[in-house]
Structure 1
Amino acid sequence: MKENVYDKLEERLGYTFKDKELLKHALIHRSYGNEHWEYKKINNERLELLGDAVLDLVVTEYLYKNFTKSSEGDLAKLKSMVVSEPVLAKISRELGIGKYLLLSKGEELTGGRDRSSILGDVFEAVLGAIYLDSGSDFLVAKAYGTKLLEYQINHIEENEELIDFKTILQEHSQKSHKVTPVYEVVKETGPDHRKNFEIVVSINDEAVGRGNGRNKKSAEQSAAKDACKKLGVKAFEAL
């Protein structure tokens, strides 16, 4: 990779590496070694492991200091959502990291540059590389990670695909009404290969939400989401 390509990527990342090899290392997917023998045992997985540990501490410390009213349980749920594949992959896409990945031709042809699992991993690898490049200065890695993750943390409820509305509704129902919500299929439409289920969820025999989905599980999530919104039940009280 040419120097000017590094410059463009560093500009997108908002960080200038003293050791450019660390950045390159963070971008090497394990498939690259299948076609480049010199990289057979060189990939970003070790940096990913390091970055994962750094990210875990960055996010946990931020949540501990900024969500002082949240319980340990809520903090744990929030952390698992923030460091999840969809969130990290979203950040990688916003930074345009996929364009710079070193992949095998096969991996690239099958959409590897935009695969969430790869993009989530490479974000952790880049964070690990920044940590090492800074001389293992956690404050540098924390400042960088916080800058990119702060918005995601404070708007986590907008990532509805990450939220288990059924569990949230059940916890609310058991706490407030001492009963478990009941889900009922009220309509099935479409052919077998494209079924649509309409489900109503009730608490104490009162309908509180309605949802649709291609299967019962997704329809129940949709109904629980509708119920949470109507009842004013938040995923996390501190948000």
Structure 2
Amino acid sequence: MKISAELKAFEGRIGYSFKEPALLVRAVTHSSMSTPNRDDNQRLEFLGDRVLGLVMCEALLEADKQASEGQLAPRFNALVRKEACADVARQIDLGAVLKLGRSEMISGGRRKNALLGDAMEAVIAAVYRDGGFAAAKDLVLRLWGNRIHEVEEDARDAKTALQEWAQARKLPPPVYREVTRKGPDHAPVFTISAELKTGESEAATAASKRAAEQAAAKALLQRLER
């Protein structure tokens, strides 16, 4: 099976050439584009999530041989969460080669964290199926790069960390308010404020409410801990 010039260029960006190109085609095919004769990437995504997890577990254990499970778990979560996968997908311009249905094309699917993260996991699985675990491990370690060694010492979910900070001081949970929403419906930009009962607050802007909430919580927590 021959692949398009765009997918050939993508192979160059990820540093892996497929022996079975059909696996790559399936990995970049969203469910909105699937037909009875064309499989989508959902099953590969399921597998890729597990392969990524195993690679990251091994990498974190190797990177810090003294870390406890309690230290490793938040670092692991930070490296495998959907936002992290989407960031790596943007790094290799995975969105440019996604095969999307018309509705997802119109709604800006090539920029969505969920679609990019899922497709990144599917690509990992495709490499695993094509070249084995060693090839998939090499791909992940190369693409994630310094993220593994630079992951924050305490990489807890920022919203959870802020809530725990408030609970420890017998305060109500933080409140998140939408300050503004700008941009077209297919590519909105949100500014969210994280607020505590004491009056402290911080705002952040991102392409999704979840990301903006996380960024606002992180900014507020950093200010409080200073």
| Secondary structure at 2:37 match in 1 | helix
* 1:212 equivalent among 198, 202, 208: 202
- Structure 1 residue 9: deviation in Å? 1.0
Is residue 52–residue 121 contact of structure 2 (8 Å, CA) maintained in 1?
A: yes
- Structure 1 residue 123: deviation in Å? 0.6
Paired residues for 1:142-157 under 5 Å = 142-157=137-152
- Paired with 1:103 and 1:195, the residues of 2 have a C-alpha distance of 30
Is residue 28–residue 43 contact of structure 1 (8 Å, CA) maintained in 2?
A: yes
| Secondary structure at 2:124 match in 1 | helix
- Structure 2 gaps of 5+ residues are 180-190, 205-212
- Structure 1 residue 211: deviation in Å? 3.2
- Paired with 2:192 and 2:16, the residues of 1 have a C-alpha distance of 49
Paired residues for 1:219-238 under 5 Å = 222-228=219-225, 230=226
Partner of 2:119: 122
Partner of 1:174: none
Q: Deviations over 1:35-58 (max 9, x none)?
A: x4532xx11111111111110100
- Structure 1 gaps of 5+ residues are 172-178, 202-208, 231-239
Q: What is the identity, as a one-letter code, of the residue corresponding to 2:90?
A: R
Q: What is the identity, as a one-letter code, of the residue corresponding to 2:150?
A: H
- Structure 1 residue 156: deviation in Å? 2.9
Q: Deviations over 1:7-40 (max 9, x none)?
A: 111111111111111110111111102xx4532x
Query: Do the aligned partners of residues 168 and 69 (structure 1) sit closer, same or farther apart at CA in structure 2, a change above 3 Å counting?
Result: farther
Query: Do the aligned partners of residues 62 and 21 (structure 1) sit closer, same or farther apart at CA in structure 2, a change above 3 Å counting?
Result: same
Query: Do the aligned partners of residues 20 and 71 (structure 1) sit closer, same or farther apart at CA in structure 2, a change above 3 Å counting?
Result: same
- Paired with 2:192 and 2:47, the residues of 1 have a C-alpha distance of 44
Identity %: 29
Counting matched residue pairs gives 199
1:166 and 2:162 correspond: yes
Partner of 1:180: 169
Higher relative contact order (CA 8 A, sep 6+): 2
Is residue 59–residue 148 contact of structure 2 (8 Å, CA) maintained in 1?
A: no
- Paired with 2:114 and 2:129, the residues of 1 have a C-alpha distance of 23
Q: What is the identity, as a one-letter code, of the residue corresponding to 2:25?
A: K
Structure 1, 62-71 or 85-94: larger mean CA deviation: 62-71
Is residue 29–residue 44 contact of structure 1 (8 Å, CA) maintained in 2?
A: yes
| Secondary structure at 2:202 match in 1 | strand
Partner of 2:8: 7
Instruction: Give the structure-2-normalised TM-score.
Output: 0.74
Paired residues for 1:11-160 under 5 Å = 11-33=12-34, 36-39=35-38, 42-134=39-131, 136=132, 138-157=133-152
**CA RMSD in angstroms, aligned pairs only:** 3.4
Large movers: runs of 4+ above 6 Å: 194-198, 217-220
- Structure 1 residue 59: deviation in Å? 0.2
Query: Do the aligned partners of residues 31 and 150 (structure 1) sit closer, same or farther apart at CA in structure 2, a change above 3 Å counting?
Result: same
- Structure 1 residue 170: deviation in Å? 6.4
